Every structure is written in structure tokens, then in C-alpha cells.
């Protein structure tokens, strides 16, 4: 039987390219499975219940993003800290982070559930639920809120499984949860005729099974670190230790809702309802490309965190440089597909409306015009998060998606109309790319100096 510490040994000794590939494959499978699960879920609702039900679910989606943001606050924050502590061979502190993360998840899930029920009606109206769709939205959200604990516990602890070096187990977790949801959806919606409520029950049952799976892992011999009741008592320094790192992805997720609202306002103003539909297609295409880069991020996080904690900076630098190289390959490949075959891509989503096709094609080409320079930006932001520099990670993440983007989005369309809306994203990417390059050059200089001292 393989020793549970073999994965920890590999993080500090295996060849970086092989190690990245080992972690990338399950991470990529996980994010793709999760993306397909969301798409198929919407298809079942649209086909089995109707268009109004689908619109009702769209109003719930921003709320689910907020719930996911809190899961990322704990899951990613604790994951980075665990990787760093394992690199330092400090297993006791890593287990203390796990125990405090478990307690923090329970506290936040209960708070989110209570607050969610108190303010759900005004929230649903604010996020677009109208008189004809609010009942569908309420039916779905009422059940989803009851499952907040399952959602947060499963998502957060599964990230910690990856951080301790068990990438394959983390992938199996996603396969089990998403696969169960895909089986239950048609049964509850079509066979049992439960409609939107059936979709919600399928979701939280799948999340409950995921929660049980990950909890069993941390109580089993397979885990590198164990879930122990003695570590459940919240400790202020450990909580801050987790939250300071988790704040970067948390803020990004929260900001994503604000950005989407701003985009929709400008699209309606300068392009009408079809422009909003076009943006939905464009975002879907962009996310399929970005998810591959996110998988690279997920693959390098435990490698960089462990080796940074172990003081093995040569391996840290090698991992960073390879990740940027691979991310750029993905970005260039996605760029070529978008620029060469935009009509074919758009027709996968809608083949009936020529007007939507024309708006989407132009928007897609402009929106992703500088895609080749996005890959390295995402990797560099994640790198600073992985080594515990939360302030820089938060700033760089917010720079591209909020600090530059929103002002451009509010100003430029006033001069260029709908074209200005599409241009907001590439302008933001260019500006943030210049700033991130400065931080990257400075970090490489520091790494080189430290490596020379070690040698």
C-alpha cells in the first residue's frame, strides 16, 4: 500500500513537468466536469420545466456565486496554508489549519443560511426575478439555502485534499458529485415531475454526498493530515492565517457579480437585449478557455506552496516559468480558434438569429482580442497567492477584473457605443498586463538573488 506521505515527498523531489502534469489532469477533469454539470443542469430545467423557470434560476445564480465566494475564502486560504506548512514539515500546524477551517465552514454556512432567508426576496428582485419568474426562483433558492453547509463543506475540504497532494482523490470527489447530480436531475425533474424543486434537491443531495466523501477522507488512512476534534476550537491567529490568503479569490468572486451587473447595464443601454444574449455566449466561450488556465493554477498551487515553505526556491521558479509557458500556449490556441472560426463557435449556442450571430461574432473577436496576454496574468496572480503574499495577489486579481475594467466600461461606451463595451475587456487586459509584468520582473529578480545565495 502506498504511504500517505509519498505525495508530500513527490512535491519536493519529483520532476516539475511530470509533477505538473500529474496535478493538471485531475484538476482539468474537475473544472470541465463542473462546467458541463452547470450547462447540463440548465438544459434539464429549460427542457423539463420551461423558459420562465430558466429565467428564475438566472436570478438565483448570483446568490450561488456569493455562496461559492465564501467557500473559496476558506477552501483556497486554508489550502495554501496547508501546502506551505507541509513544505516546512509542520504537520501539527497543517492539521490545526484543517480543524479551524472545518469550524469556520460551519459558522459561515449557518450565517449564510439565516441571512439568506432574511433577505432573499429583495435579493431576488435586485438580481432580476420578475412577477412571472419569482416563484420559480424562490422554490429553487429555498432548498439551496438549506444545503449551504453541504455546499461549502464539500467544496472547501475538497480543495484541501488537493493541497495535501491527493489530486486524484479530489478529482474522484468531483466525478462522484457531478455524476450523481446528472443522474438525479432527470429523475427528479422528468420522472417524479418535481420541476425546479427537483433540480434543487438533486443539487443538494449531490453536495451532501460530496461532503460525506471528503469528511471520510480526512478521517481515513489515505489522508496526509487528519481531522481531529482537538483542532476544532477557533484560534484567532489561525483564522486570520486562513482568511488573509483566501481573501484574494473571495474578492474576485464577489467582484465578478458587480462587473456582470455593470456589463448588463451598459449592454442594454447601447445594444439592447440581443447584446446581453451575445455577452452570455461570449462569456461561455471565454470561460471554457480560462478554465484550462485555472486548472494549471490548481496544479501548481500545492507545488509552489510546498516548495516555497521548504525554501526550495529553484523549484518554485521552475514551476512558475513552466506554468506561464503552458498558460500562454492555451491562450494563443484559444485566440486562434476565436479569430478564425467565430461563426462556427457562435452557432453552437444559437443558429436561428442572424442578428444575434452578427453581434456575437463582432463582440467575441473584440472582447478576446488580447487573449494571448491573459494566461500569464492569471498565473502570476495565483503565484503570489500560493506563496502567501495575499495583498499583492488581491491587488493584481482586482486590477484586471475591477480596478481598470469598471471605469473603462463606464466611460468608453459613451464615445464608441456598443463597440466601447466590447473594448473594455481588452483595454483592461493590456493595462493590467503592463502592471503585472512589473511585479513579475521584480519577483524573478528576488528569486534569482535568493537562489544564488542558496547555491
Q: What confidence score (pLDDT) does residue 38 get?
A: 63
Q: Provide CB contacts within 8 A for 103, sequence distance 6+.
A: 232, 233, 234
What pLDDT shows up at residue 328? 92
- Where is pLDDT greater, at 33 or 23? 23
Which residues have CB under 8 Å from 153's CB, separation 6+?
102, 105, 106, 109, 211, 214, 215
How much is the pLDDT for 129?
Answer: 63
Cell of 26: 485531475
Q: How confident is the model at residue 17 (pLDDT cuts 50, 70, 90)?
A: confident
Per-domain residue ranges for the chain?
Answer: 6-234, 303-454
CB 223 within 8 A of CB 217: yes
Confidence of residue 408 (pLDDT cuts 50, 70, 90): very high
pLDDT tens column, 254-299: 777 778 777 767 876 787 656 766 776 787 778 778 888 888 888 8
Q: What pLDDT score does 434 carry?
A: 93
pLDDT band of residue 88 (cuts 50, 70, 90) is confident
Average pLDDT, the chain: 80
Q: Which residue has the cell 498551487?
A: 301
Please check the confidence at residue 4 and state whether its pLDDT lies above 60: no
Looking at residue 34, its pLDDT comes to: 65
pLDDT tens-place string over residues 390-406: 778 778 878 877 888 88
The mean pLDDT of 81-102, rounded to a whole number, is 78
Which pLDDT value is given to residue 49? 67
Residue 83 has pLDDT above 90, yes or no: no
- Residue pLDDT, tens place only, 152-164: 888 888 877 777 7
Nearest CA to 363 out of 296, 418, 284 is that of 418
**pLDDT higher for 306 or 6?**
306
Mean pLDDT of 110-134: 78
Residue 162 near residue 27 (C-beta atoms within 8 A): yes
pLDDT of residue 50: 56
Please give the distance of CA 326 from its chain centroid, rounded to a whole number. Answer: 19
Q: Quick one: pLDDT band at residue 13, thresholds 50, 70, 90? A: low
Q: What is the pLDDT of residue 41?
A: 66
| Max mean pLDDT range (142-151, 239-248, 396-405, 422-431) | 422-431
Measured between alpha carbons, how far is residue 149 from residues 146, 154, 437 in Å?
8, 8, 40
Q: Which of 202, 232, 200, 227 is nearest to 216 (CA)?
A: 227
Q: CA 324, 174, 337: angle at the middle one, nearest 5?
A: 45
Reported as a single tens digit per residue, the pLDDT across 305-353 is: 777 777 777 888 888 888 899 999 999 999 999 888 888 877 776 556 6
pLDDT at 122: 82
Q: What is the pLDDT of residue 134?
A: 75
Query: Does pLDDT of 65 surpass 60?
Result: yes
Cα–Cα nearest to 61, from 223, 296, 256, 209: 256
pLDDT digits (tens, 9 = 90+) for 162-220: 777 776 777 778 778 888 888 888 888 888 878 888 888 988 898 899 888 888 888 87
Mean pLDDT along residues 47-76: 71
- What pLDDT score was predicted for residue 1? 40
Q: Give pLDDT, residue 194.
A: 80
What's residue 431's pLDDT?
92
pTM score of the predicted model? 0.66
- Taking the C-alpha atoms of residue 192 and residue 195, their distance in angstroms, rounded to an integer, is 8
Q: Find out whether 61 and 77 touch, Cβ atoms under 8 Å.
A: no
pLDDT in tens, 41-58: 666 765 566 556 655 666
Amino acid at each position: 500500500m502506498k504511504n500517505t506521505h509519498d505525495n508530500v515527498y513527490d512535491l519536493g523531489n519529483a520532476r516539475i513537468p511530470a509533477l505538473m502534469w500529474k496535478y493538471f489532469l485531475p484538476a482539468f477533469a474537475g473544472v470541465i466536469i463542473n462546467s458541463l454539470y452547470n450547462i447540463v443542469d440548465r438544459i434539464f430545467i429549460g427542457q423539463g420545466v420551461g423558459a420562465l423557470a430558466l429565467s428564475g434560476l438566472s436570478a438565483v445564480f448570483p446568490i450561488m456565486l456569493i455562496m461559492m465566494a465564501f467557500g473559496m475564502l476558506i477552501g483556497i486560504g486554508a489550502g495554501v496554508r496547508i501546502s506551505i506548512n507541509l513544505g516546512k514539515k509542520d504537520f501539527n500546524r497543517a492539521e490545526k489549519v484543517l480543524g479551524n477551517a472545518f469550524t469556520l465552514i460551519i459558522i459561515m454556512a449557518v450565517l449564510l443560511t439565516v441571512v439568506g432567508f432574511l433577505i432573499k426576496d429583495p435579493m431576488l428582485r435586485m438580481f432580476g426575478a420578475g412577477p412571472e419568474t419569482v416563484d420559480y426562483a424562490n422554490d429553487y433558492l429555498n432548498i439551496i439555502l438549506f444545503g449551504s453547509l453541504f455546499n461549502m463543506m464539500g467544496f472547501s475540504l475538497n480543495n484541501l485534499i488537493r493541497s495535501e497532494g491527493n489530486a486524484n482523490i479530489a478529482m474522484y470527489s468531483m466525478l462522484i458529485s457531478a455524476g450523481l447530480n446528472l443522474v438525479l436531475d432527470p429523475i427528479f425533474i422528468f420522472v417524479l415531475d418535481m420541476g425546479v424543486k427537483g433540480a434543487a434537491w438533486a443539487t443538494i443531495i449531490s453536495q451532501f454526498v460530496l461532503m460525506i466523501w471528503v469528511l471520510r477522507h480526512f478521517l481515513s488512512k489515505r489522508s496526509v493530515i487528519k481531522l481531529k476534534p482537538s483542532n476544532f476550537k477557533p484560534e484567532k491567529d489561525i483564522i486570520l492565517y486562513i482568511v488573509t490568503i483566501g481573501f484574494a479569490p473571495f474578492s474576485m468572486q464577489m467582484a465578478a457579480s458587480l462587473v456582470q451587473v455593470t456589463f448588463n447595464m451598459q449592454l442594454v443601454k447601447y445594444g439592447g437585449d440581443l447584446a446581453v444574449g451575445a455577452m452570455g455566449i461570449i462569456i461561455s466561450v471565454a470561460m471554457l478557455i480560462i478554465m484550462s488556465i485555472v486548472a494549471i493554477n490548481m496544479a501548481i498551487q500545492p507545488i509552489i506552496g510546498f516548495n516555497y515553505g521548504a525554501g526550495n526556491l529553484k523549484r518554485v521558479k521552475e514551476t512558475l516559468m513552466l506554468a506561464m509557458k503552458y498558460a500562454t500556449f492555451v491562450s494563443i490556441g484559444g485566440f486562434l480558434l476565436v479569430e478564425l472560426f467565430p461563426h462556427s463557435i457562435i452557432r453552437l449556442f444559437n443558429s436561428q438569429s442572424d442578428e444575434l450571430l452578427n453581434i456575437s461574432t463582432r463582440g467575441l473577436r473584440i472582447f478576446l482580442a488580447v487573449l494571448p496576454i491573459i494566461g500569464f496574468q492569471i498565473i502570476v496572480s495565483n503565484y503570489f497567492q500560493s506563496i502567501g503574499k495575499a495583498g499583492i495577489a488581491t491587488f493584481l486579481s482586482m486590477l484586471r477584473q475591477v480596478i481598470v475594467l469598471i471605469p473603462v466600461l463606464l466611460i468608453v461606451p459613451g464615445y464608441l457605443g456598443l463597440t466601447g463595451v466590447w473594448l473594455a475587456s481588452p483595454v483592461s487586459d493590456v493595462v493590467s498586463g503592463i502592471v503585472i509584468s512589473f511585479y513579475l520582473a521584480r519577483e524573478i529578480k528576488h528569486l534569482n538573488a535568493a537562489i544564488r545565495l542558496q547555491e
